[in-house]
Amino acid sequence: MLLSHSKFAVKSKSKLLSSKKSFEIADPESSQLLGTGTDVTGFLGSMLGATKIEVRDSSNNELLFTVQRTGLLLKKDAVIGPDGQLIGRYKSKAFSLSGGFHIYDKDGKHLGEIQGKMLKAEYKVVTPDRTTEMGTVSKSWAGMAKSLLTGGEAYGVQISPQFAEDQTAKILILGATIAVESIFKKKGSKAVGGGDSDEE
């Protein structure tokens, strides 16, 4: 059910006295719950700066993908499929004053780039040549149900029509919004996008 949609309201909630976040992914107009994101990082992993968030479909609790950060000194930010196989990676723009990161598929093909104000949840994903918008993230999305705007951070994610049937692109864009909230905003991150860097 979740991946059949192209518009999402993503709501993040923080636990008291914890850096872990949980997520609710809903239909932005009806507020129907489509999926959840749960931080399942173990204690030792959390101490070492790792993150593991499982995204599941609410209709059957099926694991759809996992957003994770691994590594000690050189952090790796990736999306993993339910079969344990790599779907794609996120790499920071090492020499960009505006921050952001690039999106690559499992074969290392450059799929997209994040542009905008990530820490304020106002950004877009564009193709590598920057000519086509793949999706947008915004806190001020007019189509979001009022019930979603209370209790926690909420923002709208919209996949552009030409990518609505591209499941890999959809997962990586949706995964990027979760990664921004759960990994790249964590206190102590040296840079948005972590240590696995790339040039702009």
76 within a domain of the structure (yes/no): yes
36 within a domain of the structure (yes/no): yes
199 within a domain of the structure (yes/no): no
- The pLDDT value recorded for residue 187 is 44
Taking the CA atoms of residue 104, residue 5, residue 160 and residue 55 in that order, the dihedral angle to the nearest 10 degrees is -30
Greater pLDDT, 144 or 6: 6
Percent of the chain with pLDDT over 70: 83
Greater pLDDT, 104 or 152: 104
Greater pLDDT, 134 or 141: 134
Task: Give the residue-averaged pLDDT of 46-64.
Answer: 95
pTM: 0.87
What residues make up the domain containing 159?
A: 2-194
Contact partners, residue 41, CB within 8 Å, separation at least 6: 20, 50, 51, 52, 53
- The pLDDT value recorded for residue 147 is 66
200 within a domain of the structure (yes/no): no
- The pLDDT value recorded for residue 200 is 44
Task: Give the span between the Cα atoms of 136 and 95, in whole angstroms.
Answer: 23
Task: Give the span between the Cα atoms of 100 and 116, in whole angstroms.
Answer: 8
15 within a domain of the structure (yes/no): yes
Task: Give the span between the Cα atoms of 165 and 180, in whole angstroms.
Answer: 23
Residue 50 in this model has a pLDDT that exceeds 60:
yes
Residue 196 in this model has a pLDDT that exceeds 60:
no
Task: Give the residue-averaged pLDDT of 178-196.
Answer: 62
Q: In this structure, what CATH number is given to the domain that contains residue 91?
A: 3.20.90
Q: How many domains does the chain have?
A: 1
Residue 162 in this model has a pLDDT that exceeds 90:
yes
